[in-house]
């Protein structure tokens, strides 16, 4: 159980890195392809990637505290 935190961080960072890289890549691709080598898609893509990674990381870290509720309709 103590390793979970570490693992989470590993996953998180790995995931973030991937996302950032992917975002960067996509950004680059887009920037190259569509936006005439502007830098804003790269940034945007990496930012998206970072954001997604951050969000995933957070989600991963929050996951134990997530409550899943069910609505029970009264009949």
Partner 1 sequence: MLRVCLKGANSAARKCLCGNGVPLHPLQQCRSYTSGGSGSSAGKIVAASVLTMGGGVGGTILYANWDPKFRANVEKSIPYSDQVFGLALGPAAPPPVINKPRKVEPVQISSMSEVWKDSKQPKAKEVQRKAEQPDAEGPPAPAPQETLEAAAKCTECEHEPAVKERPEGEVAARLAEQDKAEQDLLTSLSSNLEDALGSTAKVTLQAIGAQEAALQAIAQHTRQLREAMEAEAPPDKKSTQWRVLEDALSERSRSVDEAGAAVLKAKAELDKLRGVIDGAKHLKIAAARPSILAAEENLHSMVVDLDSVVTRVQTAQSEAKIVSQYSELVNEAKAQFQKELNSITPEIQANWKGLRKLTQDDLNSLIAHAHRRIDQLNRELAEQRVREQIHIDSALEQQKLEDKKALEVAISTALEHNREQMRLEQEKKVEETREVMEAEMRTQLRRQAAAHTDHLRDVLKVQEQELRSEAEEILNSSLMEKETEYRRLTQDQLDSFTLDMNAAYARLKGMEEAIDSHVIAEEEARKAHQLWLSVEALNYTLKTAALNDPTEPLEGAVQAIKESCAEDEFAQALATALPSESLSRGVYSEASLRARFYTIRQLARRVALIDETRNSLYQYFLSYLQAMLLFEKAQEAPPAKLSAEDLDTFKLLSYAAYSLEHGDLELAAKLVNQLKGESRRVAQDWLKEARLTLETKQVVSLLSAYANAVGLGTTMAP
Which of 14, 24, 54, 68: binder of partner 1 (CB under 8 A)? 54
x/- site string to partner 1, residues 7 to 46, per CB under 8 A?
Answer: ----------------------------------------
Which of 36, 65, 69, 71: binder of partner 1 (CB under 8 A)? 65
In contact, 23 and 56? CB cutoff 8 Å? no
Residues 6+ apart with CB under 8 A from 15: 53, 56, 57
Which of 4, 13, 32, 39: binder of partner 1 (CB under 8 A)? 4
In contact, 27 and 41? CB cutoff 8 Å? yes
Question: Binding to partner 1 by residue 1, rule CB under 8 A?
Answer: yes
**Computed from CA positions of residues 29, 56, 6, 44, in that sequence, does the dihedral angle turn out positive or negative?**
positive
As measured in angstroms, the least distance from the Cβ of 59 to partner 1 is 10
């Amino acid at each position: 159980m103590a390793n979970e935190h570490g693992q989470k961080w590993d996953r998180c960072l790995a995931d973030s890195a991937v996302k950032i890289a992917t975002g960067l890549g996509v950004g680059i691709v887009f920037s190259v392809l569509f936006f005439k080598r502007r830098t804003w898609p790269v940034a945007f893509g990496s930012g998206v990637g970072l954001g997604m990674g951050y969000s995933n990381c957070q989600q991963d870290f929050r996951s134990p505290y997530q409550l899943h509720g069910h609505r029970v309709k009264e009949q």
